[in-house]
Amino acid sequence: MSVNKRIVITGAAGFIASCLVSKLNELGYGEQLILVDDFSVKAKEANFAAKKFGLKIHRDDFFEYLDKNASEISFVFHIGARTDTTLQNVDIFDSLNLNYSKEVWKLCSKHRIPMIYASSAATYGAGEHGYQDNNEEISLLKPLNPYGQSKQDFDVWALAESESPPFWAGFKFFNVYGPNEYHKGRMASVIFHAFNQIKASGTMKLFRSHRADFTDGGQSRDFVYVKDLIDVLIYFYENQQHSGIYNLGSGKARSFLDLVKGVFHAMQTEANIGFIDTPEDIRETYQYFTEADLSNLRKAGYSKEFTELESGIEDYVKNYLVDSVYC
C-alpha cells in the first residue's frame, strides 16, 4: 500500500476505530493518519495515547477541514457513531449518526474520496427478514431501537443517492468484542463483563430467556473478534472494487452459554453460571438470534477464515483483559 496520502478515521478514540489505527500503524501509516472524534472523554484517552498519527480534529470541525483539504485525503474510514442501544433519544441519533454520516458521504462524493462506513446488525431487528445483506431488500428491515433505526435510515438513504463516492462500502457490524472497549460501560461486550464479574465473584449472571423457543443462555449472537473485523476493513481499503453494503460477522451464531464457558476456561476457573431477568428497558427490543450471511463478502473476494469464538476469547482474556492491555 502507498503510505503517502492522508487517511481519515472518524470515531478514532473509540473501540473499533482505535484498533483500526493500531493496524494502520503496523502497516506503516503514522503521520498520514487524521483522527476525528470528541477527544475530551477521559476514559478513551488510553485508546489513542500510544498511537502514531499526524493530526487530531474534533468531530465538529471535521467537515470544514475536509472541504478545505480534500485534495490531500485518499480515504475516509467513517467509524464514529453513538452506539448506545438502550438510548431512546431519536434526536441524538439523527444528529450524530444519520445526519453526520450524510454529510461525510456528500463531501466524499463531492471530492471523489472513497470511503468505508460502519452500519450495524441492529438493523436486522428481530430477524424476521433473515440476515442476508441483499441491498435490494434492505429497506424492508425493521430495527428494534433508535440506534438500529439510525443505521438503517442511513443505509437506505445511501443506496438511494444518485451521487456517491468513487468507491464505498458499508459494513453491518455484528457483535464485536476485543481490546480497547474498556470505556464502553454497559455497552461493552459480554466477554468483557463476564471477565470482570468472574474476577470479582467467581460467578457470571446471564439474562434469562423470556421466550419459550430459547432456553436460558441459549440466546445466540454472531460474535466477531475485532481483529477479524479490522482485517476485512483493510482488505476493502486495498481492493476498492465492489461498492455496497456487507455483513461483517463471523458467519456463525453462538450461544451466550458457550461464550461465558469460554471465558471461564480462558481464566482457568470452574464455570459457575446463573441467570437474572432481562432488564425491563431492553426486554422488548432484545435480539435473541443473529448470524451474518457472508455470501456477499466472499463474492467480493474476502477469503480469510474468521477466528473461532473460543480462540478469540482466549487471546482477548489472556493478552489484553488480564493486564488491561490496549491494542
Distance CA 181, CA 249 (A): 18
C-alpha 307, offset from chain centre: 16
Alpha-carbon distance 286 to 297, whole Å? 26
Residue 79, classified by CB atoms within 10 Å of its CB into exposed (0-12), middle (13-18) or buried (19+), is: buried
Tell me the three cell numbers of residue 279: 432488564
Cβ neighbours for 319, distance < 8 A, ≥ 6 positions apart: 325
Check 100, 117, 124, 147 and give the catalytic one: 147
Looking at residue 163, the DSSP 8-state letter turns out to be: S
Contacts of 142 (CB under 8 A, 6+ apart): 125, 126, 128, 129
| Sign of the alpha-carbon dihedral angle for 249, 14, 318, 270 | negative
Give yes or no: 184 in active site. Answer: yes
Q: Which of 52, 102, 106, 184 is catalytic?
A: 184
- 226 within 8 A of 176, measured Cβ to Cβ: yes
Q: Where are the beta strands (DSSP E) in the chain?
A: 6-10, 33-37, 55-58, 73-78, 115-120, 168-173, 175-177, 204-207, 220-225, 244-248, 253-255, 273-276
Cell numbers for 86? 438502550
Q: How far is CA 270 from the centre of its chain?
A: 31
> Reduced to 3 DSSP states, what percent helix, strand and coil does the chain have, rounded to the nearest 5?
40, 20, 40
Residue 238, phi then psi, degrees to nearest 5:
-80, -20
Intra-chain end-to-end CA distance of the chain, in Å: 22
Active site residue 29: no
Active site residues: 147, 184
